[in-house]
Amino acid sequence: MRINNISQLLLFCCMMITTVVVGRDNEHEHKSSIIPQPNNVTYGTETVIDYGTPLRVIYDEALSNEKDFLQKTLFENYSAEVSFDIRNEKKLKRQRKGSYIELALDAENTFFKEEGAYILEAKDKHVLITAADARGIFYGVQSLKQLFEDNVIEDCTIKDSPRFQWRGLMLDEARFFQGKREVKKLLDEMAYLKMNRFHWHLTDDAGWRIEIKKYPKLTSIGASRADSEAVIWKSGKKLGRPHSGFYTQEDIKEVVAYAKERHITVIPEIEMPGHAAAAIAAYPWLTASKKQIPVPTRFGKFKEIYNVSDPKVIGFIHDVLKEVYELFPSKVIHIGGDEVLYDSWNESANVQKYMAKHQLKTPSDLQIHFTNNLSKFFEQNSRNMMGWNDILGDDIHGWQSKDNLNPSEMLSKSAIVHFWKGDPKLIKKTLERGYKVVNAYHIYTYLDYKPNRLTLKKMFNFDPVPKGISEDLVKNIMGVSGQMWTEWCPTNCDIERQIFPRLAALAEIGWTDVNQKDFKTFRMQIPRLKQRWYDQQISYDRETKY
């Protein structure tokens, strides 16, 4: 186009602007700036909330917790005056005058039958968030929070519900105790990203981090070690200082309550029968040899494991679990079960006698027999057991001797399998055998892996539903979990650099339907998220280019 005079130039500019605006609108019809990406969103361009206008918040009385979160958002992001009013059907017409945000429960709408579903409508100077319960409203408030951070509330309708019910983060505090303040920080970020399961790895070889009143040595001895292996496996280097720390039962209650306000369930993990050296350091009779050991100062796997053929040891496990049941309302409790070295069972005449009596051919059979007996104790206490996929007895490591494999015992069907390792085909086999699965396949979900090994994009593109799974089995894939193992992360900053920004990708795997996911759109939000993390004093990974 040749431009000959000023009016043609103006016309040209108008055409260009129109093209840009329409282009943006089309884009907005499908994608939003919210992470995780909502599953159904349409956007207009009208400004709904003007930043200088006084605003009223109307909320159902049962939603005072969610109102508090909205209040905090408005305090941080909105400069004009805000007032609050309990929603009253009789006065609703008056309450809805001017600019307002309304939080309302709606038991009728069938869209809300999905747990966590909500609708956010922004139009005509108001925002209405509806859901069947407080959880859905909470997620609507989190979406609104991100819209406020984006500095515009334009007219839009978001009809959103999560893809999976299990959107988890696991934190290992046995290797390095991170502390209550850090855990709350992580819970805040999980809530912001609509994640809902905090899996708390509280016991392992390197430390026992939960107060158990009946066995005080678990923490007076098991929560401290003299030194720590440093840098990487078998480096031969040590940090050169002792490490200790544990949560009192009061601390645990505080964290569980904090998580509950954010609609997050805390799943404690009490490792058994392996990864138990810290407990054995405190009470040597827990292992078959009864050998006194210190809490190990290197990381890895250890020969000393619980002697599950001894009724006194089973009594100990029940006692610990009874206190755990009291502290954690979660229906699911994790028993670990991974990477069990069977040497101490093979070497013990008592364990061998027990196995012969119960016709258990291999140590894998004994582990499954133990796990199944324990699952009855779980059921009596209305709980479900969860464990790493080692509990099925499959050969997932290649280091078990061949005669330990092919157990004839069958794991109880009530157990939830936390799939992390082995041939990926085993996921399908596990589903076909009738188990529920949380897919945490390590190459896609281990946050301790360096960001150049597990890139943001690789993680983002992980689909917990493997190809070729029939529809009736897909429903048994409960969701996804990211694992933050802390062997090489002594400080809060160390774990944060591993977790962020990948936590956002994990959240999107858990929430957003595959056909709504788009890495380019996701990546565009990373600068905004980084600003948030900077404001929250979170040390995200600054080095990797995405």
CB of 164 closer than 8 Å to CB of 510: yes
- Which of 66, 205, 339, 390 does the annotation list as catalytic? 339
Q: In the bound complex, what is the minimum distance in angstroms from residue 110's beta carbon to ligand ACM?
A: 39
According to DSSP, the residues that pair with 268 across neighbouring strands are 200
Size of the site for ligand ACM (CB under 6 A): 4
316 binds ligand ACM (CB under 6 A): no
Q: Which positions ≥6 away from 266 have C-beta within 8 Å?
A: 198, 200, 255, 256, 259, 328, 330
Rounded to whole angstroms, the Cα distance separating 230 from 242 reads 12
Does position 204 interact with ligand ACM (CB under 6 A)? The reply is: no
Cβ at position 438, least distance to ligand ACM in Å: 12
Residues 245 and 183 sit within 8 Å (Cβ to Cβ) = no
Using CB under 6 A as the binding rule, whether residue 339 contacts ligand ACM is answered as: yes
CB of 339 to ligand ACM, least distance (A): 5
Catalytic member of 126, 199, 275, 369 = 275
Kindly tell me which of 370 and 388 has the beta carbon lying closer to ligand ACM. Answer: 388
Q: Judge whether 411 and 418 are in contact, CB under 8 Å.
A: no
Nearer to ligand ACM, 192 or 420 (CB): 420
Catalytic annotation, pick one of 204, 304, 390, 448: 204
Q: Quote the CA–CA distance of 144 and 49 in Å, as a whole number.
A: 12
Q: Which is nearer to ligand ACM, 378 or 420 (CB)?
A: 420
- Three-point CA angle 303, 371, 281, nearest 5°: 35
Whether 339 is catalytic is: yes
Give the shortest CB-324-to-ligand ACM separation in angstroms.
19
| Closest approach of ligand ACM to the CB of residue 420, in Å | 5
Helix (H) or strand (E) holding 197: strand 197-201
Q: How far apart are CA 378 and CA 389, in angstroms?
A: 18
- Residue (200 or 420) nearer to ligand ACM, CB: 420
Interface with ligand ACM, residue 166, by CB under 6 A: no
The label of the residue with tokens 């569980």 reads 256
If the CB atoms of residues 306 and 420 are measured against ligand ACM, the closer one turns out to be 420
Which residue bears the tokens 């819970």?
187
Are the beta carbons of 248 and 314 closer than 8 angstroms?
no
Q: Does 299 bind ligand ACM (CB under 6 A)?
A: no
DSSP H stretches of helix in 96-202: 134-149, 180-192
Q: What is the dihedral of CA 127, 130, 134, 140, to 10 degrees?
A: -50
**200 part of the interface to ligand ACM, by CB under 6 A:** no
Burial class (CB in 10 A: 0-12, 13-18, 19+), 362: buried
Question: Pick from 269, 338, 409, 508: which binds ligand ACM (CB under 6 A)?
Answer: 338
The residue written with tokens 């699911």 in the block is 332
Q: Which amino acid is at 545?
A: K
CB of 446 to ligand ACM, least distance (A): 7
Say whether residue 205 binds ligand ACM (CB under 6 A): no
The residues pairing with 384 across neighbouring beta strands, listed in sequence order, are: 332
In the residue annotation, 204 being an active-site residue is answered as yes
Confirm or reject binding of residue 441 to ligand ACM (CB under 6 A).
no
Residue 302 binds ligand ACM, judged by CB under 6 A: no
487 near ligand ACM (CB under 6 A): no
Per-residue binding letters, 416-435, with ligand ACM (x by CB under 6 A): ----x---------------
- Counting contacts by CB under 6 A, is residue 394 touching ligand ACM? no
The residue among 162 and 337 lying less far from ligand ACM, judged by its C-beta, is 337
Q: In this structure, are residues 479 and 196 in contact, taking their beta carbons and an 8 Å threshold?
A: no
Task: Report the residue number whose CB is nearest to ligand ACM.
Answer: 338
Whether residue 85 lies in the annotated active site: no
Q: 265 near 190, Cβ under 8 Å?
A: no
173 part of the interface to ligand ACM, by CB under 6 A: no
- Determine which residue in the list 100, 345, 388, 511 makes contact with ligand ACM, applying CB under 6 A: 388
Contacting residues for 520 by C-beta, under 8 A, at least 6 apart: none
Residues acting as catalytic residues? 204, 275, 339
Q: Which residues bind ligand ACM (CB under 6 A)?
A: 338-339, 388, 420
